[in-house]
Amino acid sequence: MAHQISIFAENRPGRLERITGILKDAGVNIRAITISTSDGFGVIKLLVDQPDLAYKKLVAEGVSASKQSILALLMDDRPGGLHRITGVLGQRNINIEDAYGFVVQDRKQAVLVLEIEKMPQAAGILSQEGVHVLTDEEIYAL
């Protein structure tokens, strides 16, 4: 199962620079990022090519980080691509807790990253329905 790094951080100038500097110095490549803030604090979610190393280096530098399991899905980059996946999960009463996505260059495909309840069950159902659940190696090599 693939992993992302989640970081709880105060929303102030220089915070993201510090985090990205730690990862740069460790040779970790950021594949995708999302930031959500509320009341001066935020959660930064990073999809990186070396999540174990990223987590270790961030924590060693005093950053409040966690490593979370995710599902990364390859989907068609066209109208209805996301609807197909939400339909499969919704019809089986599986909740999507958080999501973000990005388009893969030079392809007509996108990657959808999901935090989801019932992770192993969801992965199996999606695979049975013909959705490509990316392996760790596939997602980190993007």
pLDDT of residue 9: 85
pLDDT of residue 8: 92
pLDDT of residue 58: 97
CB 94 within 8 A of CB 117: yes
Domains defined along the chain, listed by start? 2-69 (3.30.2130.10), 70-134 (3.30.70.260)
Which of the 8 DSSP states describes residue 134?
Answer: P
pLDDT of residue 12: 80
pLDDT of residue 10: 81
Neighbours of 44 (CB within 10 A): 21
Average pLDDT, the chain: 91
Query: In degrees rounded to 5, what are phi and psi of residue 57?
Result: -70, -40
Residue 41 CA, chain-centre distance (Å), reads 20
CB 15 within 8 A of CB 107: no
Q: Which of the two residues, 135 and 107, has the higher pLDDT score?
A: 135
| Residue 1 predicted with pLDDT over 80 | no
Show the CA angle centred on residue 111, arms to residues 66 and 94, nearest 5°: 70
In whole angstroms, give the CA distance from residue 117 to residue 12: 32
| Residue 105 predicted with pLDDT over 80 | no
In whole angstroms, give the CA distance from residue 50 to residue 33: 14
Residues 28-45, mean pLDDT to the nearest whole number: 90
Res. 116 pLDDT band, cuts 50 70 90:
very high
| Residue 65 predicted with pLDDT over 80 | yes
